[in-house]
Amino acid sequence: MPSSAAPASSSPGSAGMLAPFVNELDRIAPSFQIHGSQIQVIRTPSDFYETLKAKIKSAKTHVFLSTLYIGKSLARQPEAHTEHLDRCATRDPRSAEPVMRVPTRPLITEFGPERVEIRMYHTPNLTGLRKKHVPKRINEGWGLQHMKLYGVDDEIILSGANLSSDYFTNRQDRYHLISSREITQYFARLYKGVASLSFRVEPSKEAAGFTLQWPSSNAAPSPLEKPSQFVAKATELVNSLIAPQATAQAVEAKGGQATDTTVFMLAQLSQLLKPDTSTELPAVTHVLKTLSAPQYAGSSWTFTAGYFNPAPSLTQLLMSSASTNCTVITASPQANGFYGSKGVSGMLPDAYTYLARRFLMAIRQQKRESDITLKEWRKGTVGEPEGWTYHAKGLWVTLPNESGPSMTVVGSSNYTKRSYSLDLEAGALVVTENADLKKRLADEQKWLQEYAAPVTIDDLAKTERRVSFKVRMAMWFVQMVGGAL
């Protein structure tokens, strides 16, 4: 952390309590130091949409958007000076249509390729006979581009939200706007690196309206033609971007204020790295392991994932911490995006209930029931008027004798096994001594729980919550698509 004095309202020992976290994090991931006022916490989907739209309309130099999929509402911003729209060249599991939507194609034809470039990423894990025979509805199970990076000039929004209408209206997520030239440029470099490992979309008169081309200027050969060479070249490129020495700890005080917040750049790009040198899982693992030390008794954490299926190692670390008054927030079945779906995907809400019940049983076995509470989030019912879905994910850590979190993780990751092995994820770990930012992070925790209620093993044992054998048999599908959206 910065050597400047902590704010008056911070705990006197907060810097010392943070040191064991930060010292190791400096060896794991690149970081920048800023002032806490440079981070804005956005509350609602509509606020996210209006903020992003306003930023794009006022863009002076560049816009880069990395998302799983994009809808019509944002693609129709004619003022956008868009360099790239980074996409996924597999398919959305809830749609028979390509993930690439038609509204993005006119952007190229109207503004020209010198102003607009659209890229679609394809995993090197789905090639040859596997690509030929795996059903298109589930082919994203072999990995996809999942980063959510929304950069405009010198600002970036880190989120787990995609760019379709439900994420702008009735799908609750998290959104942090960071006003920092250096941080935005860092993620722009990461973004461009992945773009150089992706297909370029070109307008076409074919039925789809576009074709996918592999430019000779790309950083690697096509993953469809030479997957091994693709990964080898990608490893060289990605390592140069995510290693701790990839950036110095730039000091960029705002208005002459001393820096009091460190932002660690996290990336989980496992399918592009051999060996895997991703930074997110090691960083989150280190934070949770450190919380198990005796001096952190009295600390607390809040963990949230819309699709509750955390990697087993993280589940164990959450339960092994010395923290008390801890909370897990997840979507209720009626707030799950798959609620009411046809086929196997319709079983997923019950499958997540089964996973939640196993988590509660583990808590009971470890005698942590008084320390850890599981809450389900529900605002109406999916598919009905005023019904919302819950898609927020993240981690907050509050130190002993403090009222607000000193640390939070925000970004695209669902913290699942597949997030740490198959998908491309990006985010940040914020470590702060800024009293106002701590308060705003505490407020974020509170408003995300406004529609959340505690559930117990007894609640999940009720007849209406019991999980059928058929759902248990479908658990493999959770592992395949559960962390993809």
Burial of 40 (0-12, 13-18, 19+ CB in 10 A): middle
Residue type, 7: P
Q: Which CATH superfamily is domain 14-481 in?
A: Endonuclease Chain A (3.30.870.10)
pLDDT category at 93 given cuts 50, 70, 90 is very low
Strand order from edge to edge, sheet including 326-331 = 31-34, 261-268, 425-432, 407-411, 393-398, 300-305, 326-331, 372-377, 452-455
Q: Confidence class of residue 264 from pLDDT cuts 50, 70 and 90?
A: very high
**Distance of alpha carbon 91 from alpha carbon 137, whole angstroms:** 7
Burial class (CB in 10 A: 0-12, 13-18, 19+), 284: buried
- For the chain, give every domain's residue range: 14-481
Q: What is the pLDDT of residues 11-21, one digit of tens each?
A: 556 788 999 99
Q: What integer pLDDT is reported at residue 31 of this predicted model?
A: 96
Closest CA to 152 of 262, 53, 41: 53
Percent of the chain topping pLDDT 70:
79
Q: Taking each helix axis from N to C terminus, what angle separates 280-290 and 14-28, rounded to the nearest 10 degrees?
A: 150
**Tokens, residue 154:** 């010198």
First to last CA, the chain: 34
pLDDT higher than 50, residue 6: no
- Average pLDDT over all residues of the chain: 85
> What tens digit of pLDDT does each residue of 386-397 get?
999 999 999 999
pLDDT at 405 over 70: yes
Cα separation, 44 vs 39, whole angstroms: 16
Q: What residue type is 177 in one-letter code?
A: L
The CA-atom distances, in angstroms, between 235 and each of 11, 193, 197 are 42, 11, 11
**β partners of residue 33:** 251, 262
Mean pLDDT of 354-365: 94
In angstroms, the CA 47 to CA 172 distance is 11
Q: Residue 322: which pLDDT band, with cuts at 50, 70 and 90?
A: very high
User: Which positions are catalytic?
Assistant: 146, 148, 153
Backbone angles phi, psi at 446, to 5 degrees: -70, -45
Least confident of 90-94, 134-138, 368-372, 404-408: 90-94
Q: What is the pLDDT of residues 236-262, one digit of tens each?
A: 999 999 999 755 555 555 566 789 999
In tens, the pLDDT along 216-229 reads 999 999 999 999 99
Pairing of the two strands 372-377 and 389-390: unpaired
CA distance 262 to 249: 9
Other C-beta atoms closer than 10 Å to the C-beta of 453 total 11
Amino acid, single-letter form, for residue 363: I
424 DSSP β-pair partners: 145
